[in-house]
Amino acid sequence: MTLKATFDSRDAAKGNDLGQLPEWDLSDLYPAPDSAELSEDIEKLARDVADFAKAYKGRLAELSASEMLACIESYERIDIIAGRIMSYAGLRYYQNTTDAERAKMLGDLQGRITDITTPLVFFSLEFNRIPDETYNTLFSAADGPARYKPVFDRMRAMRPHQLSDELEQFLHDNSVVGAAAWNRLFDETTAALEFEVDGETLGIEATLDRLTDHDRNRRETAAHALANVFQKNIKLFSRVHNTLAKEKAIEDKWRKMPTPQYGRHLSNHVEPEVVEALRNAVTAAYPRLSHRYYALKAKWLGLDKLQVWDRNAPLPTDAPRTIGWDEARSTVLDAYAGFSPRLAELAEPFFDRGWIDAGVKPGKAPGAFAHPTVTTAHPYVLLNYLGKPRDVMTLAHELGHGVHQRLAADQGELLAATPLTLAETASVFGEMLTFRALLARTTDPVQKKALLAGKVEDMINTVVRQIAFYDFECKLHAARAEGELTPDDINALWMSVQAESLGPVFEFMPGYETFWTYVPHFVHSPFYVYAYAFGDGLVNALYAAYEQGLPDFQDKYFEMLTAGGSKHHKELLEPFGLDASDPAFWDKGLSIIEGFIDQLEALEE
């Protein structure tokens, strides 16, 4: 019954001219889950790890510069094999998280790879014990590993928080039954949730999509269905959050982390005061952004008060429209090409080579992402495409990630990964390019208003909503430090940030207090969410420089993306005349959103 209803929804979408939606071809990683190539790589990984540990354990401080370079290159090759194996297992799993065989394969390989790589735990620990003088000599030598210095500078920033070798090895071995296990429980529970909406049984993605329906009654029904199911599962979600927050607090205590957020800032290579400046700028702007916009929206909808199911509602004058896959493809690629033909060329293979999985399917992970896999392969993009205008923007967003990951791959496995604060740069820029291209060719005032309103809502969701999420997490972890949190405790924390960020025009239906339960970032990547606001503000400032005709902007932009994680955000932004540590920097980005709201108000006159 459930599968039938889900497939009916998908078939109906096809009937609305979505066209043939692409699916992943994972054979670029491995031909099949039982392939000889996968088995051989697992065996090779075990041999290479054993050989590496035998060759280098206890000797890192004695290596010459050229020997250290060979050591790091060997470590990088091991990282690629492990990354390829786990990318394959993870992507198969996300295609259908309710499939027992796929879940078993992922769990088994997580355990196997964790066991195999345990002998590598010594590497970072021993590396961080190398004296500064020796370290600086090694990394300044002409025949040494100088290009890898940014990676190891970040690693050595963890030195004050490093535990004993035995404890670090214990944490490594225990990871598969710690956070990773709770993450899987969350993913599988969320993917299996069923919502009864107007006589249909829907999954979470299709139900959330109803919140953007033109029919207000359908939106309301979906909102109540979400609240009903979240409430039924709230004890489990509370247990997940209580456990993960406590586990993090224990590890943070042992590592002497000053705050729950500090580890995320370290991994992002961003100063806490920069994040605080961003957070303060956004919260101070709530009245000028979200409060002001939603008051406008209430007027458009003819309402004195907005309910939560009105937050992402289309405008009454915005005619319902389904955008087929071919049109979505051409819209995004044309916008990319308008900026630079090279950008479109980098994005095109995603459509033609099985690098995108677009359709809504039973058990498929909700949401969207771009997975970089490993630098010797290519990224894969997951979407849940339903033909809404926002889905086109999501495609532009995830393709931006994919292009960024392709360009950064030239840095090699260790240097390609971009800190989260910069990881959203290309994705949000891709969205902005697509939006600006659509806006430029829209002459009808009604359509222009709908387009502008949609963009403002997306930016509010990216900036205001994500900073509210960040504040919720800060409050959650602070409260958990005082003791176990009941579902009502967590609900209250959620509502405190919702009322503040959305503004006085909103009323909140009974049940909305449970909507924290489905947000995966809180579970998978604590304090990740501020990266979205960071990326949006950064891109707004970048786009302003582009519009103002900064010389050689395209070349500088590609150089920034190609740098991957090899440079600090200060160094990357310098060619554009920007500095994220300047509090005024964030106000520049927020003024772009205000400018769009100004345009909407002008259209009212």
Q: Bigger pLDDT: 547 or 370?
A: 370
Residues 270-279 have a mean pLDDT of: 91
pLDDT for 94-148, tens place per residue? 999 999 999 999 999 999 999 999 999 899 989 999 999 999 999 999 999 999 9
* Band (535; pLDDT cuts 50, 70, 90): confident
pLDDT for 566-576, tens place per residue?
A: 988 889 989 99
Q: Give the pLDDT of residue 602.
A: 87
For residue 4, pLDDT over 70 is answered with no
Q: Under DSSP, is residue 371 helix (H, G, I), strand (E, B) or coil?
A: strand
pLDDT of residue 15: 37
Would you place residue 9 in the very low, low, confident or very high pLDDT band (cuts 50, 70, 90)?
very low
Confidence of residue 70 (pLDDT cuts 50, 70, 90): very high
pLDDT at 172: 80
Task: Please give the Cα distance from 206 to 366 (Å, whole number).
Answer: 9
Which parts of 481-582 fold into alpha helices (H)?
487-502, 521-524, 530-547, 553-562, 569-573
Q: Is the pLDDT assigned to residue 11 strictly greater than 50?
A: no
Residue 364 has phi, psi (to 5 degrees) of -65, 145
Is the four-CA dihedral 386, 391, 396, 400 of positive or negative sign?
negative
Residues 4-16, mean pLDDT to the nearest whole number: 35
pLDDT confidence of residue 126: 92
pLDDT single digits (tens) 441-458 = 888 888 888 889 989 998
- How many residues are there in the chain? 605
In sequence order, what are the residues at sequence separation of 6 or more whose Cβ sits closer than 8 angstroms to the Cβ of residue 130?
A: 60, 61, 138
Q: Averaged over 367-372, what is the pLDDT? A: 94
Tell me the pLDDT band of 2, cut-offs 50, 70 and 90.
very low
Higher-confidence position of 164 and 42: 42
pLDDT tier, 585 (very low <50, low <70, confident <90, very high otherwise): confident
Looking at the DSSP bridge assignments, the partners of residue 202 are: 195
* C-alpha dist (Å) from residue 355 to 26, 37, 331, 381, 499: 8, 20, 18, 6, 40
Measured between alpha carbons, how far is 584 from 541 in angstroms, rounded to an integer?
11
Are 336 and 164 spatial neighbours (Cβ–Cβ below 8 Å)?
Answer: no
Predicted confidence at residue 605, as pLDDT, reads 62
Whether 69 contacts 143, CB under 8 Å: yes
Cα–Cα distance between 412 and 77 in angstroms, integer? 10
Task: Give the pLDDT mean for 183-204.
Answer: 93
The rounded mean pLDDT for the chain is 91
Contact of 528 with 260, CB cutoff 8 Å = no
Percent of the chain with pLDDT over 90: 74
Contact predicate 249/260, CB 8 Å: yes
Q: Residue 415 class from Cβ within 10 Å (0-12 exposed, 13-18 middle, 19+ buried)?
A: buried
pLDDT at 374 over 60: yes
For the chain, the structural domain boundaries read: 31-177
Report the C-alpha gap between 413 and 95 in whole angstroms: 25
- The topology (CATH level 3) of 31-177 is Butyryl-CoA Dehydrogenase, subunit A; domain 3 (1.20.140)
Q: Rounded to 5 degrees, what are φ and ψ at 197?
A: -125, 110
Worst-scoring range by mean pLDDT, 115-119, 168-172, 185-189, 249-253?
A: 168-172
User: What pLDDT shows up at residue 14?
Assistant: 42
Nearest to 219 by CA among 141, 306, 298, 294: 306
Say if residues 380 and 372 touch (Cβ distance below 8 Å). no
Closest CA to 135 of 214, 61, 230, 232: 61
65: pLDDT strictly greater than 80: yes
Give the model confidence (pLDDT) of 205-232 as tens digits: 899 999 999 899 999 999 999 999 999 9
pLDDT digits 0-9 by tens, 454-485: 899 989 998 999 999 999 999 999 999 999 99
